[in-house]
Structures are given as structure tokens and as C-alpha cells.
């Protein structure tokens, strides 16, 4: 079976949390996003192609600009769905949405970082 997302696209690197340059090395040191103590630990360089993952000091603070619209994109439809389709009171819908976002937070932070570094680093096939 052919993979849906082809290697070489930025989507591949983001979906698999791989190095944007070689798409082989892992972006994160620990594969489990819910290992909360180490969820954002990244090696300084790609273990395969030695691409610099740190880029510059504070580089990943820019990932907040990626995670914010993603959170809004999930949160608003989720809240509206609860309020208008399931007739859940606003306050309860707020807390349910908050809980869902808290549970998704480690994944959101990782994917936001992956999207952010993919904006600046392009794929280059290894020879
Ligand atoms: Zn690499």
C-alpha cells in the first residue's frame, strides 16, 4: 500500500514529526508526546543530516503564531457544536472545550513546532 503523504512534501515532515531537511531524523527526542517532562525536548541537530534544529535563540516562540489559529480552528467549532447541537449550557461547554484543549496541548505544541521549522527549512533529498 502506498503512503498517502509522499516523502519530500512539507506535510510528510509535519505529519511524521521528521526533520524538514532529510525527513528521516526525528524532530523530538521522545516519541511519546504525553511524556510531559520531555515532550518538547529536541536534539540540537538532526541525528541523520545534522540540520540545526535550534536555528536561533527563541526560534520556537514563533510557533505560538502557528498554534494560536489551530486552537481557534478547533475550539470555536467545538464550543458551537456543544451549544447548538447538543444544547449544553455555555459554561459547561466552555469547561469541556478547555479540557479537550488541555488534553490536545502536547500534540498542538509539537505540530506547531514542526510547522514552524518547515516554514524556514526545505527538503533536500539525500544522495
Ligand atoms: Zn535531517
- Using one digit for the tens of pLDDT, what is the confidence trace for 104-115? 999 999 999 999
pLDDT score of 1: 66
Closest CA to 110 of 53, 45, 57, 72: 53
For residue 31, the CA-to-ligand 1 centroid distance in Å is: 16
99 CA → ligand 1 middle, Å? 35
97 alpha carbon – ligand 1 mean position (Å): 36
Say how many Å lie between the CA of residue 69 and the centre of ligand 1: 27
Q: What is the DSSP string of 51-115?
A: -BSS-STTGGGGGHHHHHHHHHHHHHHHHHIIIIIS---HHHHHHHHHHHHHHHHHHHHHHHHHH
Q: What pLDDT is attached to residue 125? A: 82
Q: Distance between CA 111 and CA 56 in Å, rounded? A: 19
Q: What are phi and psi of 42, to 5 degrees?
A: -125, 145
Can you give the pTM of this predicted structure?
0.89
Q: Which residues pair with 18 in a beta bridge?
A: 26
Q: What is the pLDDT of residue 79?
A: 94
Cα(42)–Cα(76) distance, integer angstroms: 31
35 CA to middle of ligand 1, Å?
23
- C-alpha cell of residue 51: 540540520
Mean pLDDT value of segment 34-45: 94
Q: At 20, list the grid cell.
A: 524538514
Q: Would you place residue 4 in the very low, low, confident or very high pLDDT band (cuts 50, 70, 90)? A: confident
Q: Average pLDDT of 73-83?
A: 94
Whether residue 127 has pLDDT greater than 90: no
Amino acid at each position: 500500500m502506498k503512503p498517502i503523504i509522499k516523502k519530500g512534501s512539507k506535510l510528510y515532515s509535519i505529519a511524521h514529526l521528521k526533520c524538514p531537511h532529510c525527513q528521516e531524523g526525528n524532530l523530538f527526542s521522545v516519541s511519546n508526546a504525553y511524556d510531559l517532562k520531555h515532550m518538547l525536548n529536541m536534539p540540537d541537530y538532526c541525528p541523520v543530516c545534522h540540520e540545526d534544529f535550534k536555528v536561533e535563540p527563541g526560534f520556537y516562540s514563533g510557533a505560538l503564531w502557528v498554534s494560536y489559529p489551530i486552537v481557534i480552528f478547533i475550539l470555536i467549532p467545538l464550543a458551537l457544536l456543544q451549544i447548538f447541537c447538543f444544547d449544553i449550557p455555555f459554561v459547561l461547554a466552555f469547561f469541556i472545550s478547555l479540557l479537550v484543549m488541555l488534553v490536545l496541548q502536547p500534540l498542538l505544541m509539537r505540530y506547531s513546532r514542526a510547522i514552524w521549522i518547515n516554514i524556514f527549512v526545505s527538503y533536500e533529498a539525500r544522495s
